Structure 1
Amino acid sequence: MTIREVAAKTGMSADTLRYYERIGLLPPVPRNAAGIRTYDEYFVNLINFIKKLKASGMSLEHIIDYIRLAKMGEATLQARKNLLAEARETLVQKINSLQLVVELADYQLNNYEQLLQPETEALLQRAPVPVPMAV
C-alpha cells in the first residue's frame, strides 16, 4: 500500500505518518525500487494501535516508551500500565482545570452586568476600569 492508501485506511494524514516514522514511533517503512514507501497490514494495525493509545490520552513520547517497553516482554507489564495510569491522571487534571474555567465563565455570565459589561464599556471608551462591588 502507498502512504496515500494507508492514510485513507487509517484516517491519518500522510504528513503525520511521515512524522511518526521520523520520530521513531513507526519503524522504517520499506521502500520499493523507486523509493516509494510500501506499507503492509502490519503498519495499518500498528497505526490503529497508536491511535488507540493516543485516544486514551497518551503523549507520543509515552507511546514510544510504551512500544519500546512492550518489545522487552512481560517484565514490563507494570511499567506499561503505569504509563496508561499517568496518561489518565493527566486527563483528570485537564478535566478539573476545565471545570474551574467553566465555573469562572458561569460566574461571569451570571454577574455580567456588574462585572464584564462595565469593564467592557470602560475599555472601549479608554476610561479607568471600574472596580466591581462585592457580589
Structure 2
Amino acid sequence: MLLNRFKILLILSLFALVSQSLFSQEEGVLDSEVIRQKFEEAKHAEQRIQTIVDEWKLEIKAMQEQINKLESDIQKNRLIWSDEERQKNVSELEMITKKKSDYAKEKFQAGGEFDKIVKEIQEPVEVKLNDSFEKMSE
C-alpha cells in the first residue's frame, strides 16, 4: 500500500515537472556583443575603421616628429642662430604645433571625422544585426 502511494506520488510529481516545461514560454538571451564579434561584416567594418584611424595616427606621429626635431634644432642652435633665424624656426614650430592640434581635433573631437566614419561604416551593419535580432525574437 505504501509502495502504491509512493508510485502515485512519483508519477504526479513527474507529470507536474514535465507539464510545466511543456507549457512554459520560451525565453532566450542574446549576447549581441558576441554575435557582433562573429558577424563577418562587423569584423570588416571594425577593420576599415581601425585602418583609417591608424593612418590618422601616423599623420599625427609624423607631425610630432617634426615638432620634436624643430624643438631640438632650436635648442641646439639657440646661441648660433641670429634673432631672425631663431624667430623663423620658432614661428614654424608654432605653425606645425597648431596644425597638429587642429588635425587631431578635426579627426577625434566629438562630432568629428571619426564619429562620422564610424556612423557611415557601422550603420548598415547595425541595421542588419537589429533586423536579425527582431526576426529571432518573433
| TM-score (norm. length: structure 1) | 0.33
Larger helix share, 1 or 2: 2
Where relative contact order (Cα < 8 A, 6+ residues apart) is larger, the structure is 2
Rg larger for: 2
